[in-house]
Amino acid sequence: ICPRAMSLLESLLTGEDVRAVSVQDSTHLNGRLLLKCFLTHWVERYPSIHVFLYDMEEHRWTNGLAQGIRERMVLHCGYSQHWCGEKDSDLLKDFSVQKCVEAVGHAPLQEVAIIIDSVSTLLLHHTLSHVIRSLKLLGSKVASLLYLVHSDLHDSHVMAELNHVTFTRILLKSQEPTDNCTGQRGSCSLVHCKKSGRVVKKDEVYEVSEGYQLSGREVDMIPIVATRRQDPAANLTFSVSLTSKEKSDRAKTVLPYVRPQQPASSGGQIHYQPDQSDDIDHSDPDDDLDI
């Protein structure tokens, strides 16, 4: 029995061939869920993971994460620094590559993974060009960069610019709780640019279970169960179909204003019944032509 091939989402979780990844969510499609799944898996791969938080305060974001995961990540809460008015260390207002690298500290950047939640809040306080440049530069310096974008907060131009600097983008399409309400499942579209230059596009479904463990598979691999088409006229109390006698009677019915078919003669014939007021001239109208 061949083991099931890893889905693209699962292979991204291992950190293999991952550079800059963007997760694009909207109002009721929670992208933070995938961020936490990536975090849970990446703590096993990367010696140092730094989370830059701009959307909410720390305890709200870490709610639900295992204690072991919390201890192994470093969280920089730009949200609290900004709204508390900390002028000396405001990672939101002073966002730049240099500030991020200073926050990371002495860890070698090639072994660091950075998660940003979210770029949409950065775009409220900085220009698009500054954010794009910073993301591009940061993505080239660190081992892996993962960031969240709320796609319904930006127009198509901004999204196109953001897509341009990312190597992998995950666009959430649907999300719902699982049947036992202990997890979430959903579907997403992935576009992944490999290091070889090849671009892979896939639609996948995923399921997140307790402990932010994610499993995914391609949409094409879902078995299609052939369903028998139900006859809509099967259970009616009246008949909507015709008996054979009714069909033959219908075929024999002569419709009004339809002439009975005559045997075809050579050429077409036009039958015209002139009225009393018709003045038909039988002479040739081209008699006076001298060609």
Shortest Å distance, C-beta 252 to another protein: 46
What is the dihedral sign for C-alpha 125, 130, 136, 138?
A: negative
Q: Quote the least distance from Cβ 59 to another protein, whole Å.
A: 6
List 210, 220, 231, 290, residue binding another protein (CB under 8 A): 210
- Beta-sheet strands, E only, within the chain: 20-25, 48-53, 73-77, 112-117, 144-150, 168-177, 184-193, 199-209, 213-218
Cβ proximity to another protein: between 75 and 109 the closer is 75
Q: Hey, CA dihedral for 208, 211, 212, 214, is it positive or negative?
A: negative
Site string for another protein, 32-51 (x = CB under 8 A): xx------------------
Please state the closest distance from residue 88 (CB atom) to another protein, in A.
Answer: 12
Q: Would you say 212 and 37 are in contact if contact means Cβ atoms under 8 Å apart?
A: yes
Binding pattern for the stretch 81-110 against another protein, x by CB under 8 A and - elsewhere: -xxxx----x--x-----------------
Tokens at 136, concatenated:
């591009």
The Cβ of residue 35 has, within 10 Å, a number of other Cβ atoms equal to 23
Secondary structure E strands in 78-167: 112-117, 144-150
Work out how close the CB of 65 gets to another protein at its nearest, in angstroms, rounded to a whole number. Answer: 9
Q: Which stretch binds another protein (CB under 8 A): 106-114, 137-145, 146-154, 159-167?
A: 146-154
Task: Write out the two tokens for 2.
Answer: 């061949």
Near another protein by CB under 8 A: residue from 1, 3, 59, 278: 59
CB nearer another protein, residue 134 or residue 184 = 184
Residue selected from 1, 124, 222, 280 as contacting another protein according to rule CB under 8 A: 124
Burial (Cβ within 10 Å: 0-12, 13-18, ≥19) of residue 102? exposed
CA–CA separation, 137 vs 15, rounded Å?
Answer: 19
Phi and psi at 115, nearest 5°, equal: -120, 130
* By the rule CB under 8 A, 70 interacts with another protein: no
For another protein, the binding residues (CB under 8 A) are 26-28, 30, 32-33, 55-57, 59, 63-64, 80, 82-85, 90, 93, 120, 124, 150, 152-153, 175, 177, 181-184, 208-212
